[in-house]
Chain A
Amino acid sequence: MPALTRSLPAVSKHAVMIVGVLVTIFPFVWVAMMGTHTRSEIYSSPPPFYFGDNLISNYERLLEIMPFWLVLWNSLYVSVLGTIGAVFFCSMCAYGFFAYQFRGKNVIFGIMIASMMVPPVLTLIPFFLTVRFLGILDTHFALWFPGVANAFGIFLIRQYMTTSITRDLLDAAKVDGASDFRIYWSVVLPLIKPALATLAIVMFIGLWNNFLTPLIVLSTPEKYVLTLALRSVQSLANSPWGAIMLGTFLSMVPLLVAFLFFSKQMMAGLTAGAVKG
């Protein structure tokens, strides 16, 4: 380990982190607390920063206002499929951009970056038209599939490849007679696991928190995903906020679990040892 570790006393390095943790963890804790209060308690001032005793009744109310576990399952289904798809297709495309020289490569790469710059607010109506044209309105497929090969993921993985994979490695594999797909699949993919894990985290969260696409695509309440279901019961004046906050908290838990799972994969990169020196 670098000298920084030893030169910094353990206490001070933890102190730095704990300051960060305090700043970042409080919404999570607070949402958890609000999930145990009634609406009147949440809207008192100052709002309660302790756990209340309405957890059970909030939970019952939550199940009353939405099929909570069903929509949670829908969210999980959409996010998992979208994440798996993205990890596979983005890495494949990124490999195409990384490993080959071909005519038009820079143009396509440029268009890809540029497509990220178009403000998404306005493409909603034509996206709806496309989805309708394809006959996939009111399906979960329309939620996860369009994003499986996205500019963000391809760019991220391409960047990772440039730091962790050498030309020599690819050439050596080619000399050994491996096919292109085989090199990508058996040589490159295992080496970029941390990047795949990073992409998986971001994709999973993006799919999980997306509500604009579900809003215009879905019309059957049984197909609703969690974000949409939680938003759909909110009104300015008369929402059961205790139940909604409990639902919000419960909806953050799978994200945290997913994060812990993938970040373990990501950090595994270090112990496996980087290939490049």
Chain B
Amino acid sequence: MTDVTSNSAAAASLSAERRARRRKRAFRKALMPWLFISPYLVLFLVFTAFPLLFSVYLSFQEWNPVTGLSGMSFVGLANYAQAITDPWLWKSLYNTVWLAIATGIPQHVIAIPIAYLLVTAFRGSFRHLYTATMFIPFITSTVAISLIFYTIYSSNNGILNQWLLGLSSVPVIGALFAWVPDAMPIRWLGSSDLLKPAIAMVVIWKYTGFNIVIYSAGFLTVSKDLYDAAKVDGCNAWQQFWHVALPMIRPFIFFALTLTIIGNLQLFEEPFILTAGDSGGVSQAGLTASYYLYLVGWEWLEMGSAAAISWILFAFIALATSVHFYFNAREGLEGHN
């Protein structure tokens, strides 16, 4: 009797305990993902959120930073109104998009096959050596890049012009370059038509190696068995690349494309050094949107106006990225589980 009551009491308390434990477990289960992403959340709130809000606030102010924080005055939407009717902003957005496309596509078209070749056709130290060398442009410091490319693009004694001249005197292909001697000296950095291509070459040169590394990491996830299976099915080399390897690295293509879209639309350093910071070069042909907002904010000291431009640029990047996500995210984010 006593046993029974005590037993049922024990059972009751046991089930309460179990419920509590289950609740606790459910709670912990719900909490788990938040625990994992907490480092990002904390750092975002501490170091990123405030600067973002600050720059939103700033875009409604007129502010010469040199006057200190108290020097702001509210101007409503005036900064935005001024920005969207600003011919230099539209020119710079055009340049940005031009450069983003002209540098973005070649980067991937070159990087994907080279990465594939590196991963499938080379082993050991050769692969190592080649990858490392192709990565060098990405680690080269800005000073070195500006010095080197000034020398290459220089109009009178520049290496590029010397080469073109040399090519024009080669017997067979010389005919293709017959126009070169008449066009000399070609002013790569001094004419509005050539400035953008000249900048584009530097950007492609610098970032292709980075993409090669990302894609190499991608191709390395494709298992050997898959290729073997494809071979058994009678796939040739091209089909293996196109039908086996490429679909497998879709998440990497998605990732690299996202970075390229965002990075290229923020392009700043290369045009800045190749125009020596002189407001975008001849006819602002090298003025990108980031470059322009740098000019407005840091050279002209109109931080409010620059903030408005930066949010307009943000809108453009967000738009381009959403289009990319809309078409590619399903496969790009999920892989093929």
Binding site for B on A (CB under 8 A): 1-5, 7-8, 13-14, 16-17, 20-21, 23-28, 30-31, 34, 45-47, 89, 92-93, 95-97, 99-100, 102, 105, 108, 111-123, 125-127, 129-130, 134, 146, 148-152, 154-156, 159-160, 162-164, 166-167, 180, 184, 194-195, 197-198, 201-202, 205, 209, 227, 230-231, 234, 244-245, 248, 251-252, 255-256, 259-260, 263-264, 266-267, 269-270, 273-277
Closest CB in chain A relative to B171 CB, distance in Å: 22
Pairwise interchain contact B143-A230, C-beta atoms closer than 8 A? yes
Question: Contacts A123-B55, A146-B47, A163-B335 hold; do A2 and B318 have CB atoms under 8 A apart?
Answer: no
Is there contact, CB below 8 Å, between B154 and A45? yes
Compute how far the CA of A180 lies from the CA of B224 in the bound complex, rounded to whole angstroms: 30
Task: Determine whether the beta carbon of B143 is less than 8 Å from that of A118.
Answer: no
Q: Which among B39, B209, B337 has the greatest number of chain A C-beta atoms within 10 A?
A: B39
Chain A contacts of B213 at CB under 8 A? Answer: 198, 201-202, 263, 266
Q: Knowing that A92-B39, A148-B43, A160-B217 are A-B contacts, what are 13 other residue pairs whose CB atoms are under 8 Å apart, sorted by A's residue number?
A: A2-B240, A34-B147, A102-B33, A115-B52, A118-B314, A130-B46, A146-B43, A180-B32, A198-B213, A202-B210, A266-B220, A269-B217, A269-B220
Is there an interface contact between A127 and B321, defined as CB atoms closer than 8 Å? no
Contacts of B231 in A (CB 8 A): 2-3
Q: How far is the CB of B60 from chain A (nearest CB, A)?
A: 14
Of B73-81, B120-128, B172-180, B185-193, which stretch is located at the interface?
Answer: B120-128
Residue pair A167, B337 in contact (C-beta under 8 Å): yes
Q: Which of B28-53 contact A (CB under 8 A)?
A: 30, 32-37, 39-44, 46-48, 50-52
Q: What are the 6 tightest A-B residue pairs by CB atom distance, in nearest-first order?
A: A96-B36, A162-B335, A100-B33, A126-B54, A123-B51, A126-B51
Closest to A234 in B: B143
Task: Report how far A269 CA is from B219 CA in the complex, Å.
Answer: 10
Q: Are B134 and A252 in contact (CB under 8 A)?
A: no
Q: Is the pair B220, A274 in contact by a Cβ cutoff of 8 Å? A: yes
Q: Is the CB of A117 within 8 A of B321?
A: yes
Residues on B with C-beta less than 8 A from A99 are 33, 36
Q: Are B117 and A130 in contact (CB under 8 A)?
A: no
Pair B251/A205 contact, Cβ less than 8 Å: no
Interface 0/1 of B138-161, CB less than 8 Å to A: 111101110110010010110100
Near A by CB (< 8 A), chain B positions 238-260 give: 240-241, 248-249, 251-252, 254-255, 258-259
A27 touching B310 in the complex, CB below 8 Å, given contacts A2-B237, A3-B236: no
Q: Which of B54, B237, B293, B333 contacts A119 (CB 8 A)?
A: B293
- Bound together, the chains give a CA A202 to CA B139 distance in angstroms of 10
Residue of A nearest to B228 (CB): A2
Question: Distance in Å from the Cβ of A179 to the closest Cβ of chain B?
Answer: 10
Of A13, A93, A263, the contact of B117 (CB 8 Å cutoff): A13
Asked whether, in the complex, the Cβ of A164 is within 8 Å of the Cβ of B36, the reply is no
Q: Residue B39 contacts which of A89, A256, A273 (CB distance < 8 angstroms)?
A: A89
User: Contact: B121 with A13, CB < 8 Å?
Assistant: yes
Interface of B is mostly: helix
Can you list 8 A-B contacts (CB < 8 A)?
A20-B130, A97-B37, A105-B33, A108-B41, A122-B58, A129-B54, A146-B43, A160-B251
Q: Does B67 contact A (CB under 8 A)?
A: no
Query: Which residues of A sit under 8 angstroms from B101, Cβ to Cβ?
Result: none
Does B98 sit at the interface, judged by CB under 8 A?
A: no
* Given A119-B313, A205-B139, A273-B223: A93 in contact with B65 (beta carbons within 8 A): no
**Complex Cα–Cα for A224 and B148 (A):** 26
Q: Are A121 and B159 in contact (CB under 8 A)?
A: no
Are A93 and B143 CB-contacts (below 8 A) given A116-B262, A163-B218, A267-B128? no
- Asked if B297 lies at the interface with its beta carbon under 8 angstroms from chain A, I say yes
Complex: chain B residue closest to A157, CB-CB = B255
Distance in Å: Cβ of A56 to nearest Cβ of chain B: 21
With a cutoff of 8 Å between Cβ atoms, the chain B residues found around residue A263 in the complex are 128, 131-132, 135, 213
Docked Cα-Cα span, A2 to B232, in Å, equals 11
**Residues of chain B within 8 A of A267, CB atoms compared:** 127-128, 216, 220
Inside 8 A of A21's CB, which chain B residues have their CB? Answer: 130, 133-134
Kindly state whether residue B93 has any CB partner on chain A within 8 Å.
no
Residues of B near A259 (CB, < 8 A) are 132, 135, 139
Q: Please, which residues of chain B bring their CB within 8 A of the CB of A276?
A: 221, 223
Instruction: Tell me the smallest distance from the CB of A199 to a CB of chain B, in Å.
Output: 9
